[in-house]
Amino acid sequence: MQRRPAVAGQFYPGDEHKLRAALSQLIPESASRKQVKGVISPHAGYVYSGAIAGQLFSKITIPDTVLIIGPNHHGVGAAAALCPDGEWLTPLGAVSINHRLNKLLLQHSPYIQSDTVAHQQEHSLEVQVPFIQYLRPDVTISALCLGHGDYLPLRDIGHGIAAAIREYGDDVLIVASSDMTHYESADSAREKDQQALARVMALDGKGLLEVCHLRGITMCGVVPATVMIEAALQLGASQAELVAYGTSGDVTGDNHQVVGYAAVTVR
């Protein structure tokens, strides 16, 4: 499969030189980078959440293999859709999809299916790729698009991912793509997002799902975040850190209807 850009020129610059210039501004210089097992990174247009994503990626070491997990905003394709072998195109060039990791993911989780339909228009994975590619040009990726799910199947998917990574044998960064609360006041969004992030900081995937459901927290990537947490725990993770938090109101000045954005590392 050759996955062509769906939102280049909309969520981020569609021209290579303009995209490189934008990323150079969004990713601050960092004297030290940490090796982590997983992250949560926002996926709005770069003008809104790019600086928060940039702070995140500036603080971590990106290995040569990355698994990106994003929510399915369009509700099409398989429930746990793995982008098939091939390459992922961005204005920066082509990124190879990792055949060996893809094969292991399919072997270790019966829920995961190879599927192109879920990926064709999905922006949540796409917007992560230029950040990763810019910092690690030789990177290979696997991309998993997830629909809604209950905790136990999501836990099992996380465990399957961990088993696949263990057999893979080399470092794999798991990027869970998620924005936080959608279209509430900035005060309401921050209050709700604090509750969700408290569960993330506790590495409590089940609690994260529960608090988002009970409090009506519209964290669109709660499923990818839960799966990442479950996988990271199986791989030995013991702590999480909130790198940055903000809302679209910080950019637009309109705090009546905002979207929240968080950057988190898990190691």
pLDDT tens for residues 86-130? Answer: 999 999 999 999 999 999 999 999 999 999 999 999 999 999 999
As a whole number, the mean pLDDT across the chain is: 98
Q: How do the domains of the chain map onto residue ranges? A: 2-266
Q: Quote the tokens at residue 165.
A: 């990574």
Q: How confident is the model at residue 1 (pLDDT cuts 50, 70, 90)?
A: confident
Give the pLDDT band (50/70/90) at residue 195: very high
**pLDDT tens by residue, 175-186:** 999 999 999 999
pLDDT score at 17: 98
pLDDT in tens, 123-166: 999 999 999 999 999 999 999 999 999 999 999 999 999 999 99
Identify the helix (H) or strand (E) that includes residue 198. Answer: helix 186-201
> Where residue 39 falls among pLDDT bands split at 50, 70, 90?
very high
**Nearest 5°: phi and psi at 61?**
-85, 130
Q: Under CATH, which number does the domain 2-266 receive? A: 3.40.830.10
**Residue whose token pair is 């006041």:** 185
- 80-82 vs 240-247, strand pairing mode: unpaired
Question: For residues 84 and 32, which has the higher predicted lDDT (pLDDT)?
Answer: 84
| Cα end-to-end distance, the chain, whole Å | 32
Separation between Cα atoms, residue 38 and residue 49, nearest integer Å: 19
The distance between the two most distant Cα atoms of the chain, rounded to a whole number of Å, is 48
* 151 three-state secondary structure: helix
Mean pLDDT, residues 21-44 taken together: 96
For residues 234-251, give the mean pLDDT. 98
205, HSE (Cβ side, Cα atoms, 13 Å) = 28
Q: Are 68 and 128 a contacting pair, CB within 8 Å? A: yes
Q: Is the pLDDT of residue 30 over 90?
A: no
Q: Is 153 helix (H, G, I), strand (E, B) or coil?
A: helix
Q: How many helices (H) and strands (E) does the chain have?
A: 10, 12
Torsion of CA 247, 27, 196, 184, to 10 degrees: 10
* Structural element, H or E, at residue 174: strand 173-177
Phi/psi for 33 (5° steps) reads: -125, 140
Picking from 71, 56, 58, 70, the residue whose alpha carbon sits closest to that of residue 263 is 56
Residue 31: pLDDT band by 50, 70, 90 thresholds?
A: confident
Q: How far apart are CA 46 and CA 87, in angstroms?
A: 23
Please give the structure tokens belonging to residue 21: 């210039």
d(CA 129, CA 5): 10
Q: What gap in Å lies between CA 205 and CA 221, rounded to an integer?
A: 12
